[in-house]
Structures are given as C-alpha cells and as structure tokens.
C-alpha cells in the first residue's frame, strides 16, 4: 500500500503536461500560422508584403510539423523520452526555419542583380522564440548530457549548412551585410573598443573610489550620491550636457572624447558601489585576525579584503560592461562609428534590415560580454568563497 | 515618520518648480542665448519645451503603466503554484532581456510596427521596462520570510488575503525599486526614441545634432536630465512610503 | 615575559582599563576573566597594539612594545579569537602559513610546518590541508585557528575566548587539547574568557577584572580558597569545592594497585580464583592489559553463577584517562552510577582506578582551605 502510493506520487509529476514546452510549441505554431514568416520587398526600402507559409518550401511544412510534434510530445509523453523528443523538435524547428527562410530568399529573389529582397518576418522571430522556449524546457527536464551537447552541435551543423547550401546568403539582412562589409566590421570593432576603453577607465577610477568610500564616510556619501545622480541622467542628455564644458575647454563636443567620458561615467556606479559593498561586507573578525597577525593595511587590503570582495566587484564590472555596450550604441548619434550607426542609418533610410544588422550583433556582443564576464568571475574567485552571484 | 513627509513635500516642491521652469520659454531662450550668442536659433522651434515634456512623460507613463500592469502580475503568477513551472523560464528571459541594449530593443520593434509613430517606441519601452519590474516582484516576494507566510496561513487567511495583506505589503519596497529602475530606464530610452519619430525631449537634441546647434542639444539635454533626476527622487520617496514601518 | 605597568585606556569619559599592572611569567598561562565590559579584551588587544593604551607601558620580553612597528610586534605574537577569523578564500594550509609568509619563510619549510601543526592540533594533515574554512565544523575551524596562531612558533600566544563559540562538548575537548599542547610547547599565554570553569582548568594564574580594574591576580587555588573580596568570592561561584576538582587530574589520586585478572581463555575459572581476594570487584583484562570488563566477587560468594558475575564493557565508554580532571571523572561516575571508575591509557590498557572515596578526600581538603575564606557565605 505504502509502496504503491509512493510510486504513484513519483509518477504524477512526470505525467503532467510540460506546460513550458507546450507554451513554446504553441508560440512557434502561432509564428508559422498567424504571422508572416517572411516578407518580400520589391527593393530594399519599400515595405514588405507578407508571404504565405508555403513560400519556404518543404522546410516550412517541416517547421509546422515539428511545432505540432513538440506540442503533442509536451502533452502526451513523459520523463526523459519527452525531454529528448522536445529537444530534437526544438533543434529541428530552428533548422527548418533557417532552411525555409533560405528557400524563400533563393526562390523569390534568385538573381543577384534583382532588387527584390526577402526579409525575416515577425512570425520568424516568434517561431525562434517558441523553439528556444521548447529547448529551454527540454534541457530543464534532464534529457541527459549527451543530448544537451548533441543538440548544440546539431544546431551549429544546421546553421552552417543552411548558410552554405540553404540560400541564407540571399536573405535581405545578409545582403545588407554584404553591402556594408568592411563598414560593418569597423562598426563592431569601434563598438567594442569604445566600450572596452571606457570600462578600463571606469575600473581604474571606480575601484579606488570604492576603496576610499569603504574607508572614509564622507567620501562614500559624496561619491555614491554624485555617481548615483549621473546614472539617472539619460545617456543622450549627458552627451548633450557635455557639449558646454567641453567647448569651454576647447575640446570637441562630438566624437570619441565625449563618448568615452559618458560611458565611463555610466560604468562608474556599479563598479564603485560593488567595490564598496564588497569591501564593507567582509567579516570584521577576518580583518581583525589579519591585523592581529601583523598584516599591514596594504597587505590586509590586497591579501584578504580584495580577494573577498572580488566576486561582487566582478559582478559590478559585468553589469557595467553590459550597460555601456548598450550606451555605446547611443554615442553613434554624436559621430562615433559604433553599431548604433547602422541602426540610425536604417531608421533614417527606412531600411529595416540595416537596422537589424546593427541591432542583432549588438545584442550578441552584450550577451557574450555577460556570459564571458560571469565565467571570468567564477574563474578568479577562490573556491572557498564561490557564491551564488546571480 | 515626519522625515518621510518632509521628503515628499520637498520632492513635490521640486516638481512644481520644474513644471514652472519648463513653461518659461523666455528664461530658456535668455540663458541659451547668452551661452550661444552666435546661433540663429536657440530654442527648439517646432514645439515648446512644455509640449516636449508632456510628450515625453506621455511616452513614459503609457509604457510604464503597461509594464506595471503586466509585469507585477507576471511576477506574482510565477511565484504561485499555478505559475511555478514558468518561473525558471521567466527568470532566464528577464536575465537575458536585461543584457539587451535598449536601443536594440527599440530597433527590433521598428520593422514590426513601422517608423514615424510613437507606437513602436511605446511597445519597446514597455517591453524593456518589464524586466526590472518582473525581477523586482519575484525578488520582493521571495524576500518574505516563510515563517510569516506560515503564521498568516495559520491564522486562517486565504491565498488572496495572504497575497494582498502580507506578501505584497512586505514585498512593496523591492517591487517599487524595480519600478523605479524601470521608469528611469524608460525616461532615458524615450529620449533616444525621438530618433524614430516618437517625439519627446530627444527631438531638440537630435535636431541640434543634425544642424550643429549646441543650444538645442543643451535645451533638450538639460530638461531630460532634470526630468530624470526629479522622477528618480519622486520614486525614491514612493519607495520610502510603501515601506512598512519597522 | 609580559609586563603591564600602570596601563590605562580611556574612551572619552569612560575608563576601559584603569592603571592595570600585571606580570606574566615565561611559560605561564594567564587567564583574564571578568564580567563583560570589564576591560579584559581591551587589555589583550593592547598587548598586540590593536588598541593603543592611553597611558602606561607594556613590555614583552625585555622590549617596550612601542619600540617596534605594530606589524612587526604582531608577527611575533600568536593571535587566536573567538570568531576564529579564518580567511574564507584560502585553504587550511594557506591560512596556517599566513604569518610565516609575512615573515618570508621558504615554501618547503612552510609545507612541513603545516603538517606539524595540523597533527599537533589533532587534525589529519593530508585530508585537511586543502580544505576551505566553509568545509570545517566549528571545532575544526577553532583548531585550525590555534594552529595558525602557533605557525611561526611565537613565544607568546594571545587568545580571546578561542573556544567561546563551540558547543560545550567540543569545548571541553578543545580545552583538554590546549592543556596538552601547552604542556608540550610552554608558551607564554594570555587567555581571555568569561567562563570560570575554563579559567580554573587552564590557568596558571587568573587575573580577575571588573570595571577596568584588577580585582585579584593569583593562582586558581588561591582565588577559590582565599578570595580577596566578596566580588571575587561571588564571581568564582558557590561550588568552589567542586571547581577545585577541575584542577586536579585523575592520576593525582589514582590507585594503581588494583586487583586484575589477565586471562584470555577461561574467564569463569579466573572469576573463581578472584573470589578469594578481599575486593568486591576485580578487573578483567586481556593479554595486552586492555580492559575487558569486571567481575562482581560478592555475587560469586553468594553463589551466583560466573556468567552473571562478569560484566563485559567497552573501555571507551566507561573509563577515564589519567589527565582527565577529577571533576569530569566524578561526573562520569555519577552518570554511570559507579562508585569507582577505571583509568586506562589511550589504547585501553588498565592503569588503575579512582574511587569516590578518593575524590571525597580531595573535596574535604578543599573545605578545610575554604574555611579560611570570608565568612559571608550564602552567596548564590
């Protein structure tokens, strides 16, 4: 009796519908059916006309089938099997979507010389989001390590294959890239260089300010409130406000100088605050022990307090980096060739795909910085204090 | 208690002063003219500063209202048994979303809603502002000690009573902090949204940049900065007010 | 070794320490005790200049402590505190070599030192070396803290309630180990505690403080038997006789000539042979002299069966060690309901026993001493 009821209890949660995956599958389905996956433009500037699902060829129907399969699996299967089926469907959906996009592009704008363009439609974004949700749900349902890694490898293979043979090269955003070419990469590097330089300055200024704040009360009050107010000022407004003092100093109000100043200022708050909090949350008894054993103030700071404050400090650097990668897009308005320039040109010329060509890499850079700095943070944090930095 | 209200009165006075100052177009033109004596135009010709502030606030208020109306319930829902399945998904989405550059979100909305109207800006602001509100709500509700919930249930409160009388009041401060972050980000992003034709205080800045007119840039920048700082201190006071005493 | 001359510490209007003079001899354990706020911790922290005295002079060895920098001074004085203060980001080994590293020792020497110290404080060197503080229990952390204080072999140890945050059972064990280590190393120790029993057990001399002033500075025996004031009398507590037992070790009153039967094969025959001795009980040991149990001879005399007369025991649960305090031995006896308790070494070999009567003698002697104390008895 007891054994029976226990086994029922154990099975019940597995039998339940995977509501997260179901939501993702339905989202993907809606992307296919209710919204256009792709739009055809007579040339790069005019608004697109939505294309029917079938324009994507067999891959489009496969996408639809996989979305239905994922939904069915989330309702009817259970356990590891369900997780694996869902994962396979998610990878399949992403692959099928790319092939469908490529197919549509290759067939409707086949000629390199033709001005016609096939753009990514709203439905495609929704379908990708849906597939990602299914993937997320599947991975959290423990399909096993081999499956998780396998799915990633499969996705990479599918993307590469779609790019090489699936006609993705004819997609409008890729054509925009082809047109921009060197300008695109220079925008990427300018973006990274501006954000990186400012982050360097912010660390060089912010960490000492944070240390000083943790030692001297009036410095803390002054620094934290000034930096806090600066933080609330809109980035575009700060750039505008810099015009007058810079002009008074005979310096240009546009270009990299005001950009670096503004980015540094924005990066300061998380760095100063986290340095300060990191240092003040060090257990006083640890500091007392260090002092009592004959450490000088400098040794105490470098050998005890700094390593203990490091996880929080790095979290601050991460937050600052992500923030200023975003603001580095805004400084394009004052004559810096960051990825923001592509966005602005896209807005100005109503070329949506040019806007995307600026926005998508920007997101990728920000996410990469986020992931990379989190990993770096874990790497340099002593295993003795590795904590849950969210 | 008294200090709290002094703060509120101070901020209220600040708001009135700000309102009056932006309505005095003549003061602005006087000051800007003295800074930029050689420019043909020193104040934004297409709209008065007052109109721009109203436009700007309109963008922010509408989008923030949407954000709050959706964000807080979503945050509450994923901490209830009915939404628990979605909690991880929502947290991951919120974490990811917060790393997105605001301008990228704005840019991604453009192809979907077309350029030249405030609609894509409002959608982008509402979406981007959602992340801090949801994460603040979840964090706030998580911060309520389980013992308090136990006590509340033990006294015979129903689920909704526990939520409205115990959890939300205790979580209010953290939720408000999320709202504050969201609104401040929105005020900043709305400035940039002027480039998409959404109007607001970004308009004189862009106009000034395009015509190399520092006065217009300064006009918009100064007003936007004041608005943001004022809004931030107002919301900070609200945060204080919703904090249960003790 | 350590001499405080008219040392005063003033915080604004309040006197934390008031013209304190104190001398601690080389190799002595001086325990500073008193109610909270009496200035004992302030006094300790003035010795390594974590707090600078307002006036007065402190000598360590033959040097005024202000003649060197605080850092240099502290590196020569071991320091252990209640909250341990292990560096959470460093391993046990790295924590222990903190001071040697500051002093610039060679790596190989530090490695060897870690091994020595860990085994000294009773931790397995190989398995504990690489652990981080968060993986240690409270007692283990405290041992590592003591090892860290001893790392550079300082002649002086300053300890601020080092066992204060440990549960009573572990605290007793740590005190025992501290006493053992101190017997081996002969450090000059200044030890702050608020626990009278701990003070009595560990101190060579106790400095009892109140409101920044020294009330009495003497051996634990004299503090118990000849309190200088009612305050001292009250502070040391009413159960002074019992407390005295905390200072006496089992081997001081142990009877080593005990009837014992060493027989591996035939316990019953042995029991019958034992029946003729005058003692009621006879201990049963194996060939190596390890305690196995005992035989109730009176039960045999009355015609009880041999099986019923023999009690087999696990020596670990029912014996004490020669260095156990009489107080602890008494508590064991009361717990077990014995009138005497066997004493064995670490391996269980029978060394002798202690009878209730022997403890009583010590108690009576104590009473005789305390008769000379102040007459205002009835203090709590």
pLDDT in tens, B25-54: 888 888 888 888 888 888 888 888 889 999
Question: How far lies B219's CA from each of A239, A247, A249, B33, B186, in Å?
Answer: 12, 16, 20, 11, 20
| CA–CA min distance A47, chain B (Å) | 9
Residues of B in contact with A133 (CB under 8 A): 89
Q: What is the pTM of this model?
A: 0.81
Is A178-389 a domain of CATH 1.10.3720.10? Answer: yes
Best of B104, B187, B206, B230 to disrupt the A interface (most A CBs within 10 Å) is B104
Q: Chain A within 8 Å of B132 (Cβ-Cβ)?
A: no
Token pair, residue C38, equals: 């009496």
- Does the beta-carbon distance from A235 to B188 stay under 8 Å? yes
Question: How far lies A48's CA from each of A29, A38, B110, C329, in Å?
Answer: 22, 9, 13, 94
Token pair, residue A63, equals: 């996408």
Q: Given a cut of 80, is residue A150 above it in pLDDT?
A: yes
| CA–CA min distance B158, chain A (Å) | 25
What is the number of residues in chain C? 380
d(CA A67, CA A29): 6
The pLDDT value recorded for residue A3 is: 39
| A residues 302-361 closer than 8 Å to B (CB) | 322, 325-327, 329-330, 333-334, 340, 343-344, 346-347, 350, 352-353, 355-356, 358-360
Residues of B in contact with A329 (CB under 8 A): 101, 103-104
**Residue A241 · residue B221 · CB < 8 Å:** yes
Residues of A in contact with B121 (CB under 8 A): none
d(CA C72, CA C99): 10
The pLDDT value recorded for residue A240 is: 87
* Sheet with A49-50, side-by-side order of all strands: A49-50, A38-41, A117-120
Q: Which residue of A has its CA nearest to C49?
A: A292
Number of domains in chain B: 1
- Does the beta-carbon distance from A293 to C50 stay under 8 Å? no
| Chains B and C share 3 or more Cβ pairs within 8 Å | no
Q: If 0-12 CB within 10 Å is exposed, 13-18 middle and 19+ buried, where does residue C179 land?
A: middle
| CA–CA min distance B106, chain A (Å) | 9
Per-residue model confidence as pLDDT tens digits over B115-154: 677 888 899 999 999 999 999 999 999 999 888 888 888 8
What domain range is B54 assigned to? 2-242
Q: Chain A within 8 Å of B217 (Cβ-Cβ)?
A: yes
Best of A130, A237, A319, A336 to disrupt the B interface (most B CBs within 10 Å) is A237
Q: What subunits make at least 3 CB pairs under 8 angstroms with B?
A: A
- Does the beta-carbon distance from A382 to C99 stay under 8 Å? no
Best of B103, B112, B114 to disrupt the A interface (most A CBs within 10 Å) is B103
Q: If 0-12 CB within 10 Å is exposed, 13-18 middle and 19+ buried, where does residue C214 land?
A: buried
Q: Could you give the ipTM of this predicted complex?
A: 0.88
Poorest-confidence range of A240-244, A247-251, C93-97, C297-301?
C297-301
Q: What subunits make at least 3 CB pairs under 8 angstroms with C?
A: A
- Does the beta-carbon distance from C73 to A294 stay under 8 Å? yes
Helices then strands, each counted (H, E), chain B? 11, 0
**Residue B158 · residue B68 · CB < 8 Å:** no
User: Please, what are the domains in chain C?
Assistant: 2-246 (3.40.50.300), 250-370 (3.10.580.10)
Q: If 0-12 CB within 10 Å is exposed, 13-18 middle and 19+ buried, where does residue B241 land?
A: middle
d(CA A169, CA C324): 86
Q: Which of A310, B195, B215, B202 is nearest to C90 (CA)?
A: A310
Q: Which residues contact A388 (CB under 8 A, 6 or more apart)?
A: none
Token pair, residue A180, equals: 């921009």
pLDDT tens across the length of chain C (380 residues): 899 999 999 988 888 999 999 999 999 999 999 988 888 999 999 999 999 999 999 999 888 999 999 988 998 898 988 888 889 889 999 999 999 998 999 999 999 999 999 988 888 889 999 999 988 988 889 889 999 999 999 999 999 988 887 887 778 888 888 888 898 889 999 999 988 888 988 899 999 999 999 999 999 888 888 888 888 888 887 777 777 787 777 887 888 777 777 765 565 666 666 555 667 777 888 878 888 888 777 777 776 676 777 788 887 778 888 878 888 888 888 888 888 888 888 788 888 888 888 777 776 654 433 433 333 333 33
> Rounded mean pLDDT of A65-70?
92
> Rounded mean pLDDT of B204-229?
90
Domain holding B108: CATH number? 1.10.3720.10
Q: Given a cut of 80, is residue B211 above it in pLDDT?
A: yes
Domains of chain A by residue range: 15-170, 178-389
Q: Chain C within 8 Å of A217 (Cβ-Cβ)?
A: no
Residues of B in contact with A254 (CB under 8 A): 209
The pLDDT value recorded for residue C270 is: 60
- Does the beta-carbon distance from A325 to B101 stay under 8 Å? yes
End-to-end CA distance of chain B: 11
Best of C77, C88, C152 to disrupt the A interface (most A CBs within 10 Å) is C88
Quote the mean pLDDT of chain A: 87
Which residue carries 């896209």 as its tokens? Answer: A346
Q: Which residues contact B6 (CB under 8 A, 6 or more apart)?
A: none
């Amino acid at each position: 009796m007891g054994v029976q009821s226990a086994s029922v209890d154990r099975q019940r949660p597995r039998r339940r519908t995977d509501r997260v995956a179901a939501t993702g599958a339905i989202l993907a389905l809606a992307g296919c059916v209710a919204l256009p996956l792709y739009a055809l433009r007579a040339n790069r500037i005019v608004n697109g006309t939505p294309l029917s699902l079938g324009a994507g060829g067999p891959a489009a129907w496969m996408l639809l089938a996989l979305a239905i399969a994922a939904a069915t699996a989330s309702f009817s299967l259970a356990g590891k099997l369900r997780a694996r089926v869902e994962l396979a469907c998610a990878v399949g959906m992403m692959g099928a979507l790319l092939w469908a996009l490529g197919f549509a592009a290759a067939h409707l704008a086949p000629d390199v010389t033709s001005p016609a363009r096939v753009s990514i439609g709203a439905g495609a974004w929704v379908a990708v989001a849906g597939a990602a949700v299914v993937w997320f749900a599947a991975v959290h349902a423990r399909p096993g390590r081999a499956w998780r890694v396998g799915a990633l490898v499969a996705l990479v293979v599918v993307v590469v294959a779609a790019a090489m043979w699936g006609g993705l090269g004819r997609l409008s955003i890729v054509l925009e890239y082809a047109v921009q070419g060197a300008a695109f990469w220079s925008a990427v590097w300018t973006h990274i260089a501006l954000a990186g330089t400012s982050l360097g300055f912010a660390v060089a200024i912010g960490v000492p300010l944070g240390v000083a704040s943790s030692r001297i009360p009036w410095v803390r009050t002054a620094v934290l409130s000034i930096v806090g107010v600066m933080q609330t000022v809109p980035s575009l407004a700060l750039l505008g406000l810099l015009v007058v003092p810079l002009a008074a100093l005979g310096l240009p109000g546009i270009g990299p100088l005001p950009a670096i100043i503004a980015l540094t200022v924005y990066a300061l708050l998380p760095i100063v605050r986290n340095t300060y909090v990191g240092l003040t949350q060090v257990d006083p008894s640890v500091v007392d022990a260090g002092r009592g054993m004959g450490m000088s103030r400098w040794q105490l700071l470098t050998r005890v307090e700094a390593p203990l404050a490091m996880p929080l400090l790095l979290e601050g650097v991460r937050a600052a980096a992500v923030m200023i990668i975003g603001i580095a897009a805004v400084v394009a308005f004052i004559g810096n060739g960051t990825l923001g320039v592509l966005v602005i040109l896209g807005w100005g010329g109503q070329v949506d795909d040019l806007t995307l060509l600026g926005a998508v890499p920007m997101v990728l850079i920000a996410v990469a910085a986020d992931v990379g700095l989190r990993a770096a943070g874990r790497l340099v944090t002593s295993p003795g204090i590795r904590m849950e930095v969210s | 208690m008294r200090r709290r209200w002094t703060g509120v009165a101070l901020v209220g006075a600040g708001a009135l002063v700000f309102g009056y100052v932006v309505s005095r177009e003549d003061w602005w033109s006087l000051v800007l003219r003295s800074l930029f004596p050689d420019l043909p135009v020193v104040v934004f010709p297409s709209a008065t500063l007052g109109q721009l502030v109203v436009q700007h606030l309109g963008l922010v208020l509408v989008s923030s209202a949407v954000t709050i109306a959706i964000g807080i319930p979503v945050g509450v829902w994923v901490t209830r048994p009915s939404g628990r399945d979605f909690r991880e998904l929502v947290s991951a989405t919120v974490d990811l979303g917060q790393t997105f550059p605001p301008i990228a979100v704005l840019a991604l909305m453009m192809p979907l809603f077309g350029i030249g109207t405030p609609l894509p800006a409002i959608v982008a602001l509402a979406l981007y502002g959602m992340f801090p509100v949801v994460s603040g709500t979840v964090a706030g509700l998580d911060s309520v000690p389980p013992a308090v919930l136990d006590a509340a249930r033990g006294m015979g409160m129903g689920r909704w009573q526990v939520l409205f009388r115990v959890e939300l009041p205790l979580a209010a401060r953290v939720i408000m902090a999320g709202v504050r972050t969201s609104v401040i980000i929105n005020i900043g992003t709305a400035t940039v949204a002027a480039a998409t034709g959404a109007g607001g205080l970004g308009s004189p800045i862009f106009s000034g940049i395009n015509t190399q007119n520092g006065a217009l840039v300064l006009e918009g920048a100064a007003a936007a900065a004041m608005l943001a700082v004022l809004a931030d201190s107002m919301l900070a006071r609200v945060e204080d007010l919703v904090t249960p005493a003790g | 070794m350590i001499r405080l001359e008219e040392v005063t510490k003033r915080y604004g209007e309040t006197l934390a320490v008031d013209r304190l003079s104190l001398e601690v001899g080389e190799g002595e354990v001086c325990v500073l005790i008193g109610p909270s706020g009496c200035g004992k911790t302030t006094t300790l922290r003035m010795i390594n200049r974590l707090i600078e005295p307002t006036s007065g002079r402190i000598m360590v060895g033959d040097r005024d402590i202000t003649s060197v920098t605080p850092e240099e001074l502290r590196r020569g004085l071991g320091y252990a505190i209640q909250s341990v203060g292990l560096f959470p980001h460093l391993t046990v080994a790295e924590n222990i070599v903190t001071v040697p590293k500051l002093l610039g020792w060679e790596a190989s020497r530090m490695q060897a030192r870690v091994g020595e110290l860990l085994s000294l404080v009773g931790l397995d060197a190989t398995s504990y070396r690489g652990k981080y503080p968060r993986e240690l229990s409270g007692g283990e952390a405290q041992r590592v803290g003591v090892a860290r204080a001893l790392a550079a072999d300082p002649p002086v140890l300053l300890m601020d309630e080092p066992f204060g945050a440990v549960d009573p059972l572990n605290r007793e064990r740590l005190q025992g180990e501290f006493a053992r280590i101190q017997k081996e190393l002969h450090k000059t120790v200044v030890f702050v505690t608020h626990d009278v029993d701990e003070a009595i057990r560990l101190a060579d001399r106790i400095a009892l403080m109140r409101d920044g002033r020294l009330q009495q500075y003497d051996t634990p025996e004299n503090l118990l038997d000849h309190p200088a004031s009612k305050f001292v009398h009250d502070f040391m507590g009413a159960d002074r006789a019992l407390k005295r037992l905390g200072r006496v070790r089992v081997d001081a009153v142990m009877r080593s000539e005990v009837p014992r039967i060493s027989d591996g094969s035939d316990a019953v025959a042995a029991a019958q042979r034992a029946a003729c001795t005058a003692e009621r009980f006879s201990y049963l040991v194996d060939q190596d002299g390890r305690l196995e149990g005992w035989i109730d001879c009176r039960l045999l005399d009355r015609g009880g069966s041999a099986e019923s007369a023999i009690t087999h025991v696990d020596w670990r649960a029912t014996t004490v060690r020669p260095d156990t305090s009489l107080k602890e031995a008494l508590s064991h006896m009361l717990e077990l309901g014995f009138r005497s308790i066997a004493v064995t070494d670490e391996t269980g070999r029978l060394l002798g026993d202690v009878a209730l009567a022997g403890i009583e003698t010590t108690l009576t002697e104590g009473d005789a001493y305390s008769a000379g104390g102040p007459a205002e008895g009835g203090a709590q």
